[in-house]
Homo-oligomer: A and B are copies of this chain.
């Protein structure tokens, strides 16, 4: 490794040189045939990764811009929307619902837990006039994965749209948009896809288009109907000037996803997650998330007594050049989070746990030296 900081945060993740190099290609005319071809190839790969036959659209913006696109295009004043809220990103979809005048029916989930599909069924049954249900697949603030397949099965019986945020899971965990019945699904570039931040993607099915066409909320830059219309042009276009360089990056990153194979990549993420949990527990650390609800793309670990967030993450950063994530909102100082998404795997996790062991030793923690890395090896050996 060179002297670059090792990014072990839940996105942006380390971007491979192939993808960074793709961005240094010269800019082409964004209304020309060459760009249209690149855009078409990239959105087709995007749909492959979403596992849907429906088209996908690229947004020049962060994941939040796609979250806002999902809400602004379906919610108008007075619309009832069921928001599953069990972390910061569930909250964000609720805030967006309210910004656009929607009435939020909240399914409150304790931070660290996944939503219970039976509870979703109960609330959807009770509110079958709700326009949409929003769910964050992988809640990166709590390192929890929500059961989108099971919830999708339930939602098939209702007209309520199922809107799923897969910003921190797509290409790292199972997201079968069509099979699971996700009506709108969105993601970001900088997580499991391992491109730089700055682009988001969204896919929409016919049920959702029917609602979108009738929705009058103010939107312009994030207008999905305009994206659809521009996407259907020959050559394919975006309604407003796209980030051309990021389109190159997404094309290269998605090519790498499909070269690795979606299933193989997801399996690799699952192994990395299991290894991370095993290593942390071998050092006597406690996981934040409820057992069984563990995310496959990042892990939240309770800050052990006897060390502060500044000491632990500060030492990892300043002494070892490894960037871990802290807790968000009320979890600030109480947990730290390790991202194992994108291209992050055995090499990066072994370096991280080696240095985490050394950091913990420095602050007087007692465990058998090498125990974390040994546990990591065990998981990788049996997979």
| CB-based contact B242/A245 at 8 Å | no
| CB-based contact B11/A241 at 8 Å | yes
CB contacts (< 8 Å) of A220 on chain B: these are 64, 68, 95-96, 99
Tell me if A222 counts as interface (CB < 8 A to partner B): yes
Assuming the contacts A24-B21, A61-B61, asked whether A241 and B96 have C-beta atoms less than 8 A apart, the reply is: no
CA distance A264 to B26 in the complex (A): 26
Task: List residues of A whose CB falls within 8 A of some B CB.
Answer: 4-5, 7, 9, 11-15, 17, 20-21, 23-30, 32, 34, 60-65, 68, 72, 95-96, 99-101, 188, 190, 196-199, 217-222, 239-246, 249, 323
CA distance A44 to B101 in the complex (A): 36
CA distance A23 to B26 in the complex (A): 12
CB contacts (< 8 Å) of A72 on chain B: these are 218
How many identical chains are in the complex? Answer: 2
The winner among A60, A190, A219, A222 for most chain B CB atoms within 10 A is A60
CA distance A218 to B68 in the complex (A): 11
Assuming the contacts A20-B23, A244-B12, A323-B29, asked whether A218 and B62 have C-beta atoms less than 8 A apart, the reply is: no
Assuming the contacts A196-B27, A245-B245, asked whether A64 and B221 have C-beta atoms less than 8 A apart, the reply is: yes
Contact among B7, B217, B221 for A29, CB-based, below 8 A: B7
CA distance A93 to B245 in the complex (A): 27
CA distance A219 to B27 in the complex (A): 31
Assuming the contacts A241-B188, A245-B198, asked whether A219 and B99 have C-beta atoms less than 8 A apart, the reply is: yes
| CB-based contact B198/A60 at 8 Å | yes
A235 nearest CB across to chain B (Å): 13
A196 nearest CB across to chain B (Å): 4
| CB-based contact A241/B4 at 8 Å | no
| CB-based contact B221/A100 at 8 Å | no
A355 nearest CB across to chain B (Å): 16
CB contacts (< 8 Å) of A5 on chain B: these are 26, 28-29, 34
| CB-based contact A64/B240 at 8 Å | yes
CB contacts (< 8 Å) of A239 on chain B: these are 64
Q: 25 A-B pairs, CB-CB below 8 angstroms?
A: A5-B29, A7-B29, A12-B27, A12-B244, A17-B24, A20-B25, A20-B26, A23-B23, A23-B24, A60-B61, A60-B62, A63-B240, A64-B220, A64-B221, A64-B240, A64-B241, A95-B220, A99-B219, A190-B241, A196-B244, A197-B242, A198-B243, A221-B222, A243-B243, A246-B246
CA distance A140 to B185 in the complex (A): 36
CB contacts (< 8 Å) of A197 on chain B: these are 27, 30, 60, 241-245
CA distance A363 to B259 in the complex (A): 48
CB contacts (< 8 Å) of A245 on chain B: these are 20, 23, 196-198, 245-246, 249
Which residue on chain B has the smallest CB distance to residue A92? B220
CA distance A318 to B72 in the complex (A): 42
CB contacts (< 8 Å) of A24 on chain B: these are 17, 20-21, 23-24
